[in-house]
Amino acid sequence: MIRKIWHTDIQTNHPKGVKMTAIRMSKQNFEKKRSGTFHKTAGVVLGCILGLLATPAAGHATPSIGESAMQTGPAAPASLSANRIFSNADEISWADASTNESFFTVEYRTASGRIWTQFSKVYSTSVGTTGKRYTVNYRGLPTGKYLCYRVAAVNEAGKTYSPERCAGFRPSVPKNLRLSINWVEAGVTFERSEWELRYRLYYQVNGAGQWFVKVANAPTYASTDASIFVDTGKTDTNYCFYVIASNDFGSSSPSNTVCGNTGPYVEP
C-alpha cells in the first residue's frame, strides 16, 4: 500500500517575492516521524551520559585487564633465627614481612656445603598483614653436624629469600689427650669433640715459650677418637702438646697438655 504525501503551494514573504513550494506530510506520517526522532534523540542522550560516567577523572588512568591482574613478588622474611635446641634438633623462626605471600619454604645446607635443599613448606596464615612470627622444629638431625637455613616468601610472582642463619654450638673440649712419641715423630690421640669441623694442635719445643700450630680437619668417618701426628725431625728433644677444636661458631677451650721426649737416634 502506497501512502500519498500531499503538498500545496504556500506563499512566503521571500525578499525577492518568489513563490516557494513547501512539502507537508499527512498527520499520520508526521506523527510516525516525530516518534522515531524522539527515540533516536533519547538514545543519543543516554549514550552520552553513560560515556561520561565511564570516563576516568583527570589524572587517573584506567588500568587495563593485564595491569589489574598483575601481582608483585613478596617481601623477604625478616629476623630469621636458627638455634640448636637438642643434640639432634633445630628450631627455626622468622617474621612475616609481606602482605601477599601464599606460603614459605624453609631450606637448608650443610655448614661446609653449597647445595640448598627444601626442608618443608609452611602455608601463610597472615596474608594482608605483617609481623606474625612463624616457628618450626626439625628433629632427627645428624649428631655432630650442624646446618644453615634460609626462608623464602612465595607467591605466583616468585620467591624472595631471607639472609641465612646457622644453628649449632661451639665445639666441646677435646678430652683425654694421650701422647705417643718416637725418635722423630710425635702423635696425640684424644676423645673427639661435638660439633667440631677442625682441630688445631699446638706444640712447644724444649719449653722455649713459643707455640707452633698444625691444623687438621675433623674425621669424616664415625669414630670416638681422633689422632694428629707431627714430624719433629729432632731427636733428644722435649715437646709439649694440647688441642683446640673449632667450627664457624668459635673454638673450644684447650684440652689437657701432654709432654714427652723424642728418643736418641738408634742405628738400624
Lowest mean pLDDT among 8-17, 181-190, 243-252: 8-17
Residue with the larger pLDDT of the pair 196 and 102: 102
Residues 186 and 242 in one domain: yes
Q: In this model, does residue 49 exceed pLDDT 60? A: no
Residues 221 and 182 in one domain: yes
Lowest mean pLDDT among 69-73, 130-134, 238-242: 69-73
Residues 163 and 179 in one domain: no
Say what the pLDDT of residue 247 is.
83
Give the model's confidence band at 61: pLDDT under 50 very low, under 70 low, under 90 confident, else very high.
Answer: very low
Residue 11 forms part of a structural domain: no
Query: How confident is the model over 124-171, as pLDDT tens digits?
Result: 999 999 999 999 999 998 766 779 999 999 999 999 999 999 988 888
Average pLDDT over residues 168-183: 90
Residue type at position 33: K
Residue 133, number of CB atoms within 10 A of its CB: 13
Residue 185 forms part of a structural domain: yes
Last residue of a domain, one of 114, 140, 167: 167
Residues 84 and 132 in one domain: yes
Give the model's confidence band at 253: pLDDT under 50 very low, under 70 low, under 90 confident, else very high.
Answer: very high
Say what the pLDDT of residue 118 is.
96
Q: What's the CA gap between 200 and 226, in Å, rounded?
A: 12
Residue 2 forms part of a structural domain: no
Residues 158 and 209 in one domain: no
Residue 44 forms part of a structural domain: no
Q: What's the CA gap between 186 and 245, in Å, rounded?
A: 19
Residue 202 forms part of a structural domain: yes
Residue 42 forms part of a structural domain: no
Q: In this model, does residue 66 exceed pLDDT 80? A: no
Residues 179 and 245 in one domain: yes
Residues 151 and 200 in one domain: no
Residues 99 and 142 in one domain: yes
Average pLDDT over residues 61-65: 45
Q: In this model, does residue 20 exceed pLDDT 50? A: no
Q: In this model, does residue 222 exceed pLDDT 70? A: yes
Total number of domains in the chain: 2
Residues 216 and 189 in one domain: yes
Residue type at position 136: V
Say what the pLDDT of residue 220 is.
83
Say what the pLDDT of residue 251 is.
92
Residue numbers of the domain that contains 159: 78-167
Say what the pLDDT of residue 184 is.
79
Residue 267 forms part of a structural domain: no
Looking at the chain, the whole-number percentage of residues with pLDDT higher than 90 is 51
Residues 216 and 253 in one domain: yes
Looking at the chain, the whole-number percentage of residues with pLDDT higher than 70 is 72
Last residue of a domain, one of 167, 197, 217: 167
Q: What's the CA gap between 152 and 105, in Å, rounded?
A: 5
Lowest mean pLDDT among 17-21, 49-53, 152-156, 187-191: 17-21
Residues 253 and 181 in one domain: yes
Q: Which residues are within 8 A (CB) of 215 and not within 5 positions of it... i.e. 6 or more apart?
A: 198, 199, 200, 201
Q: Which residues are within 8 A (CB) of 247 and not within 5 positions of it... i.e. 6 or more apart?
A: 111, 146, 168, 170, 171, 195, 196, 197, 198
3-state secondary structure the chain: CCCCCCEEEECCCCCCCCCEEEECCCHHHHHHHHHHHHHHHHHHHHHHHHHHHHCCCCCCCCCCHHHHHCCCCCCCCEEEEEEEEECCEEEEEEECCCCCCCEEEEEEEECCCCCCEEEEEEECCCCCCCCCEEEEEECCCCCCCCEEEEEEEEECCEEEECCCEEECCCCCCCEEEEEEECCCEEEEEEECCCCCCEEEEEEEECCCCCEEEEEEECCCCCCCEEEEEEECCCCCCEEEEEEEEEECCEECCCCCCEEEECCCCCCC
Residues 185 and 255 in one domain: yes
CATH of the domain at 96: 2.60.40.10
Contact 151, 193 (CB under 8 A): no
Residue 67 forms part of a structural domain: no
Residue type at position 2: I
Average pLDDT over residues 61-75: 62
Last residue of a domain, one of 167, 193, 224: 167
Say what the pLDDT of residue 234 is.
83
